[in-house]
Amino acid sequence: MMENEDPCTRPSEVQPKLRQGRRLRALSEGFNKSVKYALRGVGPDRFASTFPGMPSDVLDVLYDGYRQALHGARVHTEGEFDAVCEETQLSDKLHAIEELCESHLTAQSKNSAAATRALRASLLTVKKAEAEELRRLLEAARARRAELEAELESARAEVASQAAALRPLAEPVEAL
């Protein structure tokens, strides 16, 4: 990879868009909102309070790096969602659920009581499978979040150590 190439936009990692049914769209929107909320970060003032006594120009660079790390984490996590959906064929499963619901709704209009019982029984099975798949996705997202938080902490420690190494260099300049 070239030094200035953005790893978030490498063409080899671009995922094909999933077939977006109503259920997958709702799941995707909920996941993206959760990721955005979880990785919203802190404001510049709160960030600055983490590094008391740090020169403002160094703090600005650190904060920019922090924001870029959060953005990268969001982009990668959202990309992971599409990859997990693709791996587990979730799009096809949710599409099958929608088709099943439509076919049962058509049957229901013909045989209302019997169709309702059959629809409820089949939907219960489908919903249980869907709920289990969503639990698995949630656990995968939580694990990924934990990994990203660990990476972020590691990056913070690296930045703090680099900033500490630069402080002695800045002291002679400040004395002038």
Structure confidence by residue, pLDDT tens digits, 98-126: 888 777 776 656 666 676 777 788 889 88
* Domain positions in the chain: 20-175
Q: How far apart are CA 146 and CA 75, in angstroms?
A: 15
In sign, the C-alpha dihedral spanning 99, 100, 102, 107 is: positive
Structure confidence by residue, pLDDT tens digits, 29-53: 888 888 888 888 889 999 889 888 8
Q: How far apart are CA 166 and CA 151, in angstroms?
A: 22
Q: What is the pTM of this model?
A: 0.43
Structure confidence by residue, pLDDT tens digits, 81-101: 888 888 888 888 888 888 887
The predicted pLDDT at position 147 comes to: 95
Residue 86 backbone phi and psi in degrees, to 5: -65, -45
Task: For residue 50, give Cα distances in angstroms to 54, 63, 66, 157.
Answer: 9, 11, 12, 12
Mean pLDDT, the chain, rounded, equals 81
